Copies of this chain bind each other. A is one copy, B any other.
């Protein structure tokens, strides 16, 4: 019987003794009816106090593993051995994968996690959709936070209502009316943990396995993932410079009878395209005719560089068909995880129900912070600043693309939002481009993530210009174009070899 004591461990010594004895009982080293050494002698062997051993034995007794009688000593119980042998005999590891639901098992992994991992270190990242950290209004937030501690004290840490902190719902209602021409009272708004939670809830509210959802093609990869995970078939409608092709949509509605249409009509992710006003009316018309809800995702609408963009679908909809999602993640920062939904009351009740059920409410301090930020007028000032700064970063990237461009590459000029959607030369081996750019310290997002049918996006990449520092953007594009050049050369060389080989 060998027991080792570690005097530096966190576990108290009597517990170390007890646990090792228990292990020995479990593993059969100490059989039933085995007489443990007298406390005094074990204490001597281990160089510990006798009381420590007594305590260890008492614990074993309390667990029903040993019994002790004066004169007879401490004996391992037969009952315990039986019990423990059951427990500690050969136990199959749990076959977890057999227990998972289909949607969890099939869900493939996490481009988003990968992107987020890609943004650290010395890398020049065009991959994420993250606002410029150096523009975060940290000083103002610090000031507000200080005031909140003084004015609100413990309220800062209390629970909030499921639907959100009411003053923040008022502030959001104000922003919607002032800035987006959307009439939504505070009671028409529910605060969520980012607009992504709104997508998840929409899926839970509407999608049964086998249902169809219509999206733009390309569209936000997170939406494809969420709808698929709920069991939906995700059907894409192509876009052109005026956004979703409504002519194509119409025939799809007849054929697939979708549960809803998901659209990012303004400065779309990833294409940067905005749905024209005419098509907005056409889209609403089709929704009315087919009695079909529209889920409008509008994280970028505020971030325009030129003229005010056309109003959101929600502002044009007079019949309550549009569920409107937005967020503070693009105009301010992702870290607070605060977004919202504005929707007709019947639907909003379901969003609130899911919020209550899944995570109760949004982080209280974040809600108070954002509310104060809006009420002070800082939100409007901040947006004005972002417009200038992001327009400038976009311009730097456009100029760099022009400067370093190579044949076969083309791109759009977005009037707002976060992204340039860049077409690569044909027949480039895209995963090699990722590697070649990575070697040069540049990351971006491959296009296929944005297509329900993944193979289609092979010829595009998404370039974000809000996260990298302005002085890094030109450098990053230079390296990226070097990587493209190298990859194209290698690809056509390989192509040539492949063409030659069969002839040899």
Residues on A lying within 8 angstroms of B by beta carbon are 10-11, 15, 26, 62-64, 83-84, 86-88, 91-97, 99-104, 107, 109-110, 112-113, 116-117, 130, 133-134, 136, 138, 141-142, 145-146, 149, 153-154, 156-162, 177-178, 181, 193-194, 196-197, 200, 204-208, 222, 225-226, 229, 259-260, 277-278, 281-282, 284-285, 288-289, 291, 293, 318-321, 332-337, 344, 346-347, 350, 352-354, 356-366
| Contacts A104-B350, A363-B363; A138 near B157 (Cβ below 8 A) | yes
User: Could you say which residues of chain B place their CB within 8 Å of the CB of A160?
Assistant: 335
Complex: how many Å from CA A154 to CA B140?
Answer: 12
Among residues of B, the one whose C-beta sits closest to the C-beta of A141 is B157
Contact between B353 and A110 (Cβ–Cβ < 8 Å)?
Answer: yes
In the assembled complex, the CB of A268 is this many whole angstroms from the nearest CB of chain B, namely 20
Contact between B162 and A320 (Cβ–Cβ < 8 Å)?
Answer: no
Complex: how many Å from CA A83 to CA B158?
Answer: 51
In the assembled complex, the CB of A307 is this many whole angstroms from the nearest CB of chain B, namely 11
In the assembled complex, the CB of A76 is this many whole angstroms from the nearest CB of chain B, namely 15
Among residues of B, the one whose C-beta sits closest to the C-beta of A284 is B87
| Contacts A206-B100, A335-B159; A226 near B357 (Cβ below 8 A) | yes
Complex: how many Å from CA A193 to CA B320?
Answer: 31
In the assembled complex, the CB of A330 is this many whole angstroms from the nearest CB of chain B, namely 12
Contact between A156 and B335 (Cβ–Cβ < 8 Å)?
Answer: yes
Contact between B362 and A107 (Cβ–Cβ < 8 Å)?
Answer: no
In the assembled complex, the CB of A194 is this many whole angstroms from the nearest CB of chain B, namely 5
User: Could you say which residues of chain B place their CB within 8 Å of the CB of A157?
Assistant: 133, 136, 138, 141, 332-336
| Contacts A162-B116, A281-B83; A335 near B321 (Cβ below 8 A) | no
The list of the 4 closest CB pairs from A to B, nearest first, reads A335-B364, A157-B333, A157-B335, A363-B363
Contact between B277 and A62 (Cβ–Cβ < 8 Å)?
Answer: yes
Contact between B138 and A333 (Cβ–Cβ < 8 Å)?
Answer: no
Contact between A94 and B10 (Cβ–Cβ < 8 Å)?
Answer: no
| Contacts A83-B285, A229-B357, A350-B100; A335 near B91 (Cβ below 8 A) | no
Other A-B pairs, 7, CB within 8 Å; known A101-B207, A366-B366: A103-B204, A104-B353, A107-B353, A117-B161, A196-B358, A196-B360, A336-B363
Selected from B94, B110, B225, the residue in CB contact (under 8 A) with A344 is B94
In the assembled complex, the CB of A297 is this many whole angstroms from the nearest CB of chain B, namely 15
Contact between B278 and A64 (Cβ–Cβ < 8 Å)?
Answer: yes
